[in-house]
């Protein structure tokens, strides 16, 4: 049985962790730099695991799930410190995509 978190719960959990263990949020610019770094680590794994780049010995302990979780953590930090409710933002974004792309992908010859 897995322990599934809602997006709201994840935001609360990160906020609690920051305030009790992390001391305080890094500023937004620092978190943006950290997000870029974490996305780069995901890209490195994807390039070496699914792409044509060869692996290095130093890649052995790198796990995609862990790196994706790092990306999520920093995204949640940025949302928390800028007042973004990710649950609402995600729902609104999915609605926008659904309306905008209702036929677009079905008509894309490259996807057939």
The residue among 111 and 93 whose pLDDT is bigger is 93
Reported as a single tens digit per residue, the pLDDT across 38-95 is 999 999 999 999 999 998 888 888 999 999 999 999 999 999 999 999 999 999 999 9
Q: Which two tokens mark 44?
A: 């490195």
**Domain 7-83 class in CATH:** mainly alpha
DSSP of 25-46, one letter per residue? PPPHHHHHHHHHHHHHHHHHHH
Band the pLDDT of 1: cuts 50, 70, 90. low
pLDDT at position 3 is 81
Domain boundaries, the chain: 7-83
pLDDT at position 59 is 84
């Amino acid at each position: 049985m897995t322990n599934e978190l809602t997006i709201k719960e994840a935001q609360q959990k990160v906020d609690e962790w920051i305030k009790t263990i992390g001391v305080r949020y890094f500023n937004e610019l620092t978190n943006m730099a950290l997000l870029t770094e974490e996305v780069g680590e995901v890209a490195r794994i994807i390039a070496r695991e699914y792409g044509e780049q060869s692996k290095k010995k130093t890649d052995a302990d790198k796990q995609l799930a862990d790196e994706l979780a790092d990306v999520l953590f920093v995204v949640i930090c940025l949302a928390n410190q800028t007042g973004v409710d990710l649950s609402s933002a995600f729902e609104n974004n999915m609605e926008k995509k659904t309306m905008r792309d209702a036929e677009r992908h079905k008509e894309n010859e490259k996807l057939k």
